[in-house]
Amino acid sequence: MLRGSAGAWAVLGPLLWGCGLALLQGGMLYPRESRSRERKELDGLWSFRADFSDNRRQGFEQQWYRAPLRESGPTLDMPVPSSFNDVGQDGQLRSFVGWVWYEREITLPQRWTEDLGTRVVLRIGSAHYYAIVWVNGVHVVEHEGGHLPFEADISKLVQSGPLSSCRITIAINNTLSPHTLPPGTILYKTDPSMYPKGYFVQNTKFDFFNYAGLHRSVVLYTTPTTYIDDITTGSPIPPQGDLTCRTPGLVNYQIIIQGSDHFQVDVSLLDEEGKVVAKGAGAEGQLQVPSAHLWWPYLMHEHPAYLYSLEVKMMAQTAVGPVSDFYTLPVGIRTVAVTESQFLINGKPFYFRGVNKHEDSDIRGKGFDWPLLVKDFNLLRWLGANAFRTSHYPYAEEVLQLCDRYGIVVIDESPGVGIALVESFSNVSLQHHLEVMEEMIRRDKNHPAVVMWSVANEPASFLKPAGYYFKTLIAHTKALDPSRPVTFVTNTNYEADLGAPYVDVICVNSYYSWYHDYGHMEVIQLQLATQFENWYKAYQKPMIQSEYGADAIEGFHEDPPLMFSEEYQKGLLKQYHVVLDQKRKEYVVGELIWNFADFMTNQSPVRMIGNRKGIFTRQRQPKSAAFLLRERYWKLANETRYQRSAVTSQCVGSGLFTV
Ligand code: GCB
């Protein structure tokens, strides 16, 4: 959520259009270079200081943003993107709660500072959690939320004098409160015999380390002053809203131009060979793609993940003369729908064979890292996985771009994790959650890989206010994007869950023979079958086993299997698979292992240097379970591979499906 004068964006009207997305005020297109746009990445070393003062407010009291940070005290070198926690040797910084200050001075190209027809934008991919930004000491933007981008037009500041450099200062606070997403509480410990004065701890109800800092790139980019602000694409929603009856091959588009009312827009859709296959004129329209190549998931088609390019060209007459702006967006043509027992992609039953992930690795914490990302995608494809959930927050945009490119299907999850207190279901929290969904959909709406939104993970959905909360949240999400199903992931009993009536797909987490019945793998099949049957009887909706797993320390072997050994992890998964194999023939549409890789958590007696439920270690080396899953996923893939005849449609007779 953007706050402050520079960037406040209003609550949106329910402006639904042909392709169904609401009109968010201000777009959040990924910053790409084009004939009219330049981009400068500010990755590298920034100056850094954590404010260790008692009230953590010394930086504001002394106005550290007014002058270079080095003038107000010592600074550290801090890499960006990275979490600040694990790069140093200072235990206090590792667990620091409060404001940290980042600063970078940069030289700008002359044209950017002199050409008044150029708009210069500062974009921050992720600052966890609350951020305040100054440019040359002037406040430009504030943002709440650690997983989504925000930006500020800084043209006036960099074009106002003979400056060729600019100083960017970002203060970031990682404190979580009952109304943040994820929520948390600060607990002051006041017993003087046990704690020093002012001692406090940050408590959370989620199971990953609250890494903080500038986790994704900070970039400067330019556009002309009249510019393409947003693009929305998607396949048309039939008037009756039945998503199973969509026509592949049609692409709706809507383009928002800012800066002038007098402009012309032309769009061309190019295939992978660069051949123009459809053209359109005007800011809104429909493209018809003859014999469209559909976007298919990995291993579901001989040519999966087909991406077209939508080239958008805008020309405007302005006071300074003619202006053009160009932006190219990758577009995948596909439909998504759910029936009572199936999840359909392009009309065909789709089974999620996948993982849950975290943005997490040694040293950089949640900092974006290309080698890690490419390694993860190589491992996913080695496994034969076709899907993952962005547990438990939206991941970097580059992750979704690779999913589009490789055909890895995504359940895109909001940071609604650990919503456990009654306070966190209040209207203040709900309002923030609605805004986070708007930001998330605004950013991720054009990714064909994203097939479903998950608004939360394991909320206390049995609490009384949860019914209204999820009804409102899910209705809002659907109004913003009627083209995708919506879910949240539950671990509440099927009879007590007040949010489940509003979801399209029931996603359930369970840890049989791990968090109870320790060591008793023989009860898994009965308990899991009961879980599925109860839920299905109550709701008749497709189900996903959205988490299951066991901790295993690599290299620990015990036969017969004991908890924490590689054998136990494998044995437990196998028990789950027996039931999954029965129920997937009925209404279970997916299985997502917890977790892809080991990851860092808070310190606790039940966590041995983090959560060890990964099938890969934190360094991405396979445990025995990885080979088990690999065998299973390839087998599942081969069962359904390229079976083009298996098209299922609820619209049989309408002839709408052309696959
Ligand atoms: C869960 C949570 C996940 C935890 C996992 C575990 O249900 O959704 O965040 O890490 O269990 O290992 O306990």
pLDDT (0 to 100) of residue 335: 95
For the segment 616-641, the average pLDDT, to the nearest whole number, is: 96
Residue 146 predicted with pLDDT over 60: yes
Residue 645 has pLDDT above 90, yes or no: no
Residue 45: strand, helix, or coil: strand
For residue 327, say if its preceding peptide bond is cis, omega within 30 degrees of 0: no
Supply φ then ψ for residue 267, to 5 degrees: -125, 145
What pLDDT sits at residue 19?
Answer: 36
pLDDT digits 0-9 by tens, 382-417? 999 999 999 999 999 999 999 999 999 999 999 999
| Burial state string for 4-33 with b = 16 or more CB within 10 A and e = fewer than 16 | eebbebeebeeeeeebbbbbbbbbbbbbee
Q: Which residue has the tokens 């590792």?
A: 94
Question: How many CA atoms does the CB half-sphere of 155 hold within 13 Å?
Answer: 15
Across the range 450-470, mean pLDDT stands at 98
Q: Which atom of ligand 1 is nearest to the CA of 601?
A: 10
Q: Is the pLDDT of residue 127 over 50?
A: yes
Whole-number Å distance, alpha carbon 417 to ligand 1 midpoint, is 10
pLDDT above 70: residue 634: yes
> Looking at the predicted structure, is the pLDDT value of residue 128 above 50?
yes
Mind listing the pLDDT tens digit for each residue in 15-38?
A: 233 333 444 578 999 999 999 999
Q: Residue of the nearest CA to atom 4 in ligand 1?
A: 207
Q: Does residue 133 have a pLDDT over 60?
A: yes
Per-residue pLDDT band for 367 (boundaries 50, 70, 90) equals very high
Q: 3-state secondary structure string, 587-647? A: CEEEEEECCCECECCCCECCECCCECCCCECCCCCECHHHHHHHHHHHHHHHHHCCCHHHC
Q: Give the N- to C-terminal CA distance of the chain in Å, as an integer.
A: 41
* 502 pLDDT higher than 60: yes
Question: What pLDDT score was predicted for residue 606?
Answer: 94
Report whether residue 457 contacts ligand 1, using a CB cutoff of 6 Å. Answer: yes
Q: If you measure from the C-alpha of residue 599 to the centroid of ligand 1, how many angstroms do you get, rounded to a whole number? A: 11
Of 205, 206, 207, 413, best ligand 1 pocket probe by most atoms within 8 Å of the beta carbon: 207
547 lines ligand 1 (CB under 6 A): yes
For 299, the 3-state DSSP assignment is coil
Element (H, E) at 49: strand 44-50
- Tell me what the mean pLDDT of segment 631-653 comes to: 67
The finding on whether 357 has its CB within 6 A of some atom of ligand 1 is no
Is the model's pLDDT at 361 over the cut of 90? yes
- Counting residues of the chain whose pLDDT is more than 70, the rounded percentage is 92
Q: Residue 5 pLDDT more than 60?
A: no
How does residue 236 score in pLDDT terms, banded at 50, 70 and 90? confident
Q: Which atom of ligand 1 is nearest to the CA of 551?
A: 12
Per residue in 428-441, pLDDT (tens digit) is: 999 999 999 999 99
- The stretch 122-128 carries a mean pLDDT of 98
pLDDT at 643: 55
CA distances from 405 to 207, 297, 304, 331, 374 (A): 30, 10, 9, 10, 12
Both tokens of residue 435? 């805004």
What is the spatial distance between Cα 308 and Cα 304, in angstroms, rounded to a whole number?
12
Task: Look at residue 378 and tell me whether its pLDDT is greater than 90.
Answer: yes
* Token pair for 387: 């899907």
Q: What is the mean pLDDT of the chain?
A: 92
Residue 283 near residue 256 (C-beta atoms within 8 A): yes
Instruction: State if residue 613 touches ligand 1 by the CB under 6 angstroms criterion.
Output: yes
Residue 486 has a pLDDT of 98
Average pLDDT of the segment spanning 213-231: 98
Q: Say yes or no to pLDDT of 117 above 90.
A: yes
Find the 606 Cα to ligand 1 centroid distance in Å: 12
Give the integer Cα–Cα distance in Å for 5 and 41.
25
207 C-alpha to ligand 1 centroid (Å): 6
Q: Is the pLDDT of residue 47 over 60?
A: yes
User: Which residue's alpha carbon is at the smallest distance from atom 10 of ligand 1?
Assistant: 207
| Residue 207, ligand 1, Cβ within 6 A | yes
| Structure token pair of residue 472 | 């409102």
Mean pLDDT, range 535-542, rounded to an integer: 98
Residue 592 has pLDDT above 70, yes or no: yes
Q: Which helix (H) or strand (E) holds 430?
A: helix 427-444
Query: 413: which 2 tokens?
Result: 């999850």
Identify the pLDDT of residue 243: 62
Nearest protein Cα to ligand 1, atom 3? 207
Catalytic residues: 458
Mutate to test the pocket of ligand 1, among 572, 606, 611 (most ligand atoms within 8 A of CB): 611
Distances, alpha carbon 287 to alpha carbons 230, 278, 353, 611, in Å: 18, 6, 33, 48
Position 322: which residue type? P
Residues with Cβ < 8 Å from 328, sequence gap 6 or more?
Answer: 32, 34, 309, 310, 311, 312
Question: pLDDT at position 239, please?
Answer: 63
Q: What is the pTM of this model?
A: 0.94
Mutate to test the pocket of ligand 1, among 547, 572, 602, 608 (most ligand atoms within 8 A of CB): 547
Residue 266, sorted as left (phi over 0), alpha (psi -120 to 50) or beta, turns out to be beta
**458 in ligand 1 pocket by Cβ < 6 Å?**
yes
Alpha-carbon torsion 351, 353, 358, 359, what sign?
A: negative
Q: Does the Cβ of 497 fall within 6 Å of ligand 1? A: no
Distance of CA 642 to the CA centre of its chain: 29
For residue 125, how far is its CA from the centre of ligand 1 (angstroms)? 26
Which of these, 310, 342, 308, lies nearest to 327 by C-alpha position? 310
Q: Which amino acid is at 428?
A: V
**Residue nearest ligand 1's atom 13 by CA:** 207
Question: Among 594, 602, 607, which residue has the most ligand 1 atoms within 8 Å of its CB, making it the best to mutate?
Answer: 594
pLDDT > 90 fraction of the chain, expressed in percent and rounded: 89
Instruction: Say what the pLDDT of residue 245 is.
Output: 63
β-bridge pairing 39-41 and 138-144: unpaired
C-alpha neighbours within 13 Å on the C-beta side of residue 367? 22
Domains and CATH numbers, the chain: 38-174+210-222 (2.60.120.260), 227-331 (2.60.40.10), 336-642 (3.20.20.80)
DSSP, collapsed to helix, strand or coil, labels residue 439 as helix
pLDDT of residue 241: 61
Q: Tell me, in angstroms, the distance from the centre of ligand 1 to residue 583's CA.
A: 23
Average pLDDT over residues 443-459: 98
* Count of Cβ atoms closer than 10 Å to residue 192 Cβ: 9
- What is the pLDDT at residue 249? 86
Range scoring the smallest mean pLDDT among 42-46, 221-225, 274-278, 650-654: 650-654
The predicted model gives 640-650 an average pLDDT of 51
Residue 511 CA to ligand 1 centre (angstroms): 9
- pLDDT of 101 reads 98
